[in-house]
Amino acid sequence: MASVKVRLWKERIAKGFMLLSGFLVTGSLFFIVGTILYKGLPYLSWEMVSQLPKGGFYIGKEGGILNAILGSLYLASAATILATIIGIPISIFLTVYLKQGSFLSRLSKLIYDILYGIPSIVYGAIGFSIMVYFGIRASLLGGIITITLLTIPIVVRTVDELLKTVPADLRHVTQSLGATRWEVAKVLLLFIKPGVFTAILLAFGRAIGDVAGVLLTSGFSDNLPKYIDEPAATLPLAIFFQLSSPIPEVQGRAYASALVLTIIILIIVLCTQYLAAKQKKHKM
Amino acid sequence: MHAVSSSKTEKAQDVNTQVQSHIVIRDLNVHIEGKHILKNINLDIPNHSVTSIIGPSGCGKTTLLKTLNRLLEDVSDVSISGSVLVNGEDIYAPDAEVTHLRKKMGLLSQKPFPLPMSIFDNIAYGPKIHGIKNKKKLQEIVETQLRNVGLWEEVKDRLDASATRLSIGQQQRLCLARGLAVEPEIILGDESTSALDPISTQTIENLLISLKDAYTIVLVTHILRQARRVSDYIIFVYNGEILEFGKTEDVLLRPKHEITRQYVKGFIS
Amino acid sequence: MNTIRLLKDKIVRNSSALLLFLSLSVVVFMGLGLVYKSWPLLESESLFRLLTEKIWSPMKGYFGFLPFIAGTLAVTTVALIIAVPLCILTAVYLTEYASKGLRNSILPLINVLAALPPVLYGVWGVLFVVPMIKEYIAPIFGVETSGYSVLAAGIVLAVMIFPIMISIIVEVLQTIPDELKAASLSLGATKWETIQHIILAKAKPGIIAATVLAISRAFGETIAVLMVCGNIPKIPTSIFDAGYPIPALIANNFGEMMSIPLYESALMFSALLLFAIIFLFNFIARIILNRLENKYNG
């Protein structure tokens, strides 16, 4: 057996490695955000966020990224609303209407877990095929359909996790008042309300940040879509397409888009943290 | 073994002749995940009195309580046979309507679970879902029930405040009032004071005693002293069977069965 | 009144059941749709040849997927080699050593990392990782490279899988009962020895599940990898070579050149490959995690 001294040294070395890893992992976040801030800040201006790009796609030097900002907001909001409308009833059905631990509920939850892991490029490929089949061209609508499919599992899983945290006794006392299952569900939703907003925000964050799903389905345009069947730009697409441009001004639009997207994501994360704290307090 | 069951049914009949029962259980068997949790339960729970279900933990006392309210069936892999008659109506009959019969039984759970809404709405919730829309009528109900549980003076100025702000003892009284607001006939208590401090416990116990003229009360408790303080009758459940059922003094002071004697010994010494 | 309430209840029940059914059928639809679309290719070539052939030249009708499979594996392996040790050490530090205050300030940061969209990782990769490899890392090894390489993709991917690995491992570590640690410590073991022999041994299934989930995440990641991996359909022989993973293949070519026979079918086949592998990996990981959860909760 090694002496105590050696053993304690081992402990110290191990701890050093752990600290180093923790530092690297956390540091990577600051690295990424820092890089984007460094590159994006010089280009961020009121003109940039309030104007459409001018002078032609990929080569035009003038204008801003309003098309991408609004396109992203349209697409992500529509998809999130649809996913919420579809996803919340599903989680309620799984927890309130089905018996706990029944085969169907376990199977469904497993499938949603898996769907959550399916990469968005596969959703995109499927969405594209559906669109070709129905003769829909790459458009806002196509993007919305794909992203809705992508975000439903997020809503279902998060709300399901939340419903799991509701004590069974709360359901029982509500039922004891003679409430139907639907009325019980409404009470449960009230109970997890802050958490439901978290789920919606998470879905929105995923929806607004996704590229692979919309790359094939929503097209890209320098203009704002007037109708839902017109192609639309999104921030991630604007970054993806313009980052490799040889023209510095166009590249600048990509940096600015990255910065705007980062800010939106950070706001969403802050809101979710706030809501999570509120949900904790809610539960006493 | 044989002697036990005969003395049990004797006692049950004995009680039955004294008062007409609200809740009658016949040949009730419950299996959960293949385990036989409740075995051949036959019981007539006396009206307008407090009946306590006691027994070692894991013996099935909470399960017994939950079968009265059909709250067991949310869990899968539960099979229930036999019948539970409430006012002569079998609640496990295929055409029985659950929400309607649950309304007859208020549940007071282990910890207070105020609904995530105001004090007023907590109490008005039940009447509202059962169709009372009149604001004045709701206010009346809320006041009556809060007075009933002695909470009115404490909260009348902050009925719009969130119920979670109340102390835990107040919350439990609020939950009792909420249960009473749907005009049940029966109150079921599942170790309802286990999360409370001694003073709040006493308040709840006194409330239950005062309510027994109007309600039939069934409590699960693991505190023998509480059973002694509040109940008129005691059911001793052991290993899924009813070993003993009778007047409180009889069960606690003159138990017929050796296991009961050992279980209550701690109480007597 | 009562009948209306019961009716409402029934309507909600039936409509939500319908939604569940429809959304679950998406999986079936995806699988079948992909098989249907890739059928023409599968009919013309044997599955084995598709997966082992090295030459990718759609114009000439050669559809060898080996370069892409190799690209995916190379990128994923590099990412795992970087991420797994870092994540285990970080997770152990956070659960066993860090104060509550530190843990509560680090974990939200890791959530931010999880929330960042892939394209931002890609931007970081292009602006920082790629030049760093070109200017500093490759010269150390005496290699010349554009920087767009398997290594760059591996580093970006590693950072992307940090959050999922760390959050799962932390969760698993937290389920290990304190009594177990106390038992080991009271035998005179140091904290690190306890971690080595007791905690990590106990957490092994969870760590494996986290790794499997991370692998499937890495397999499917498209944009961030696409932006930094170089996209040359050749089997990479060193980490400084360019690679071309499957998702990048789909993203780069989908919807274009559809006039080439079998091309669309080939792309759909690659989507099917991804779908099948990731379905399987997720399935395995979730089964392990659900087992663990049930074990500790009941």
The structural domains of chain A, with segments of one domain joined by +, span: 4-43, 46-282
C232, two tokens: 């040359």
User: Which amino acid, residue C74?
Assistant: A
Residues of chain A with C-beta less than 8 angstroms from the C-beta of C110: 25-26, 29
CATH number at residue C120: 1.10.3720.10
* Touching chains, B (3+ CB pairs < 8 A): A, C
Q: Is C118 inside any structural domain?
A: yes
Is the Cβ pair A36, C120 closer than 8 Å?
yes
Q: Which fold has domain A46-282?
A: MetI-like fold (1.10.3720)
Farthest CA pair distance, chain C: 83
Secondary structure element (H or E) that encloses residue A274, with its range: helix A248-282
Secondary structure element (H or E) that encloses residue A86, with its range: helix A66-92
Instruction: List per-residue pLDDT tens for chain B, 269 residues long.
Output: 343 444 444 444 444 444 467 889 999 999 988 889 999 999 999 889 999 999 888 888 889 998 888 888 777 778 889 989 888 888 888 888 888 888 888 888 888 888 888 999 999 988 888 888 899 999 999 999 999 888 999 999 999 998 888 998 899 999 999 999 988 889 999 888 888 888 889 989 999 999 988 899 999 998 888 999 999 999 999 989 999 999 998 888 888 888 888 888 766 54
Is the Cβ pair A239, C119 closer than 8 Å?
yes
- End-to-end, the C-alpha distance of chain A in Å comes to 50
Is the Cβ pair A176, B106 closer than 8 Å?
yes
Q: Is C256 inside any structural domain?
A: no
Number of domains chain C is built from? 1
Which residue has 């007539």 as its token pair? B44
Q: Which of B62, B70, B77, B99 should one mutate to test binding to chain A, selecting the residue with the greatest count of A CBs within 10 A? A: B99
CA pair distance A140, A218, nearest whole angstrom: 5
Residues of chain A with C-beta less than 8 angstroms from the C-beta of C283: 110, 114
Average pLDDT, integer, range C31-50? 89
Domain that residue C195 falls in: 66-242
Would you call A9 an interface residue with chain C, using a CB distance cutoff of 8 Å? no
C217 min Cα distance to partner chain A (Å):
7
Q: C274 CB contacts (<8 Å, ≥6 apart)? A: A119, A121, A122, C219, C220, C246, C247, C250
Q: What separation in angstroms does the CA of A48 have from each of A37, A42, A243, A257? A: 15, 11, 16, 9
- In which band, very low, low, confident or very high, does the pLDDT at C191 lie, cut at 50, 70 and 90? confident
Is the Cβ pair B115, A190 closer than 8 Å?
yes
Q: Is C83 inside any structural domain?
A: yes
Which residue has 């009562």 as its token pair? C2
Is the Cβ pair A178, B115 closer than 8 Å?
no
Which residue has 């409308």 as its token pair? A85
Would you call A110 an interface residue with chain C, using a CB distance cutoff of 8 Å? yes
Helical H runs in chain B? 2-18, 61-67, 98-103, 119-129, 135-148, 152-155, 168-180, 198-211, 224-230, 248-253, 258-268
Would you call C192 an interface residue with chain A, using a CB distance cutoff of 8 Å? yes
CA pair distance A157, A188, nearest whole angstrom: 16
Residue A139 sits at φ, ψ, to 5 deg, of -160, 175
Q: At B58, is the secondary structure helix, strand, or coil? A: coil
Q: How many CB pairs under 8 A join A and C?
A: 253
Secondary structure element (H or E) that encloses residue C291, with its range: helix C263-297
Closest residue of chain A to B118, computed from CA coordinates: A190
Stated length of chain A: 284
Q: Is C54 inside any structural domain?
A: no
User: Which amino acid, residue A65?
Assistant: I
- In which band, very low, low, confident or very high, does the pLDDT at A55 lie, cut at 50, 70 and 90? low
Is the Cβ pair C255, A117 closer than 8 Å?
no
CA pair distance C88, A260, nearest whole angstrom: 33
User: How far does Cα C262 stand from its chain's mean position?
Assistant: 28
Q: Is C29 inside any structural domain?
A: no
Residues of chain B with C-beta less than 8 angstroms from the C-beta of A174: 115
Q: Is C38 inside any structural domain?
A: no
Q: What separation in angstroms does the CA of C8 have from each of B149, B247, C13, C128? A: 33, 46, 8, 57
Q: At A123, is the secondary structure helix, strand, or coil? A: helix
Residue A221 sits at φ, ψ, to 5 deg, of -150, 150
Indicate the average pLDDT of chain A: 88
Q: Which of C1, C7, C9, C13 should one mutate to test binding to chain B, selecting the residue with the greatest count of B CBs within 10 A? A: C1
Assess contact for A235 and A210: CB atoms under 8 A: no
pLDDT score at A63: 79
Residues of chain A with C-beta less than 8 angstroms from the C-beta of B106: 176-177
Q: At C92, is the secondary structure helix, strand, or coil? A: helix
ipTM: 0.89
Q: Is C121 inside any structural domain?
A: yes
Using alpha carbons, select from C219, C183, C210, C220 the residue that is nearest to residue C198: C183
Q: C206 CB contacts (<8 Å, ≥6 apart)? A: C168, C169, C171, C172, C173, C288, C289, C292
- End-to-end, the C-alpha distance of chain B in Å comes to 27
Q: Is C60 inside any structural domain?
A: no
